[in-house]
Chain A
């Protein structure tokens, strides 16, 4: 059974600092990995999707890397802003089923 772990569970940084969020998974036989953002009481917004054959994806200030062999992904958010405050979830797809981590709750202080 796939297990997805996200560390740290919570993170508080001053505005402008770079964020590093970690995600690990136990079974490397995945099709892809997706990073989501969730604001309080809201649904999930997709940030980046990395296919199993890819090493990284970038979108604006966001960059996600994937090391499938070691079962790890890292989400980097450059020059954080208060609007980046949210919970970030990673999810891996295997056997057509998504497995989620518990998320990292980020607070960016102005």
Chain B
């Protein structure tokens, strides 16, 4: 149980275009989802926390106008990278709390490899 499905697994886009990444909780309701970015051989960097029905909370240094997050339902959160540039190329992973407090841990999507050319 507690599976998070993330799509697409990889995407290549041209500079200046926008890319949308979806994260769905399949068998539970995810009130809160998290979006991470991971650079090669580095750990996960939290970008933002999305709460269903409200605005996302962005970490310091993350451009909210570039990385648009929408959490319109209890099972779906999306991250849209707008006007993508090569420096946005990275591995993006979503996560959800298995319980509202996180006491039962977190489950992660399979990640999306974004390459901007």
A interface residues with partner B (beta carbon < 8 Å): 31-32, 34, 36, 41-46, 49, 51, 89, 91, 93, 96-98, 100-103
Contacts and interface: CB of A to CB of B under 8 A. Distances in A.
B61 interface: no
Interface residues of B, number: 21
A46 B43 contact: no
Contacts of B42: 102
Interface string B32-53: 0010000000111010000000
B111 A42 contact: yes
Contacts, number: 51
Main secondary structure, interface of A, reads strand
Of the listed residues B44, B110, B111, the one surrounded by the most CB atoms of chain A closer than 10 A to its CB is: B44
B64 interface: no
A101 B65 CA distance: 28
B91 interface: yes
Given A89-B43, A98-B34, A41 B111 contact: yes
B106 A46 contact: yes
27 contacts: A31-B103, A32-B102, A32-B103, A32-B105, A34-B106, A36-B108, A41-B91, A41-B111, A41-B113, A42-B111, A43-B6, A43-B110, A44-B93, A44-B95, A46-B105, A46-B106, A46-B107, A46-B108, A49-B105, A89-B43, A89-B44, A97-B46, A98-B34, A98-B106, A100-B43, A100-B44, A103-B43
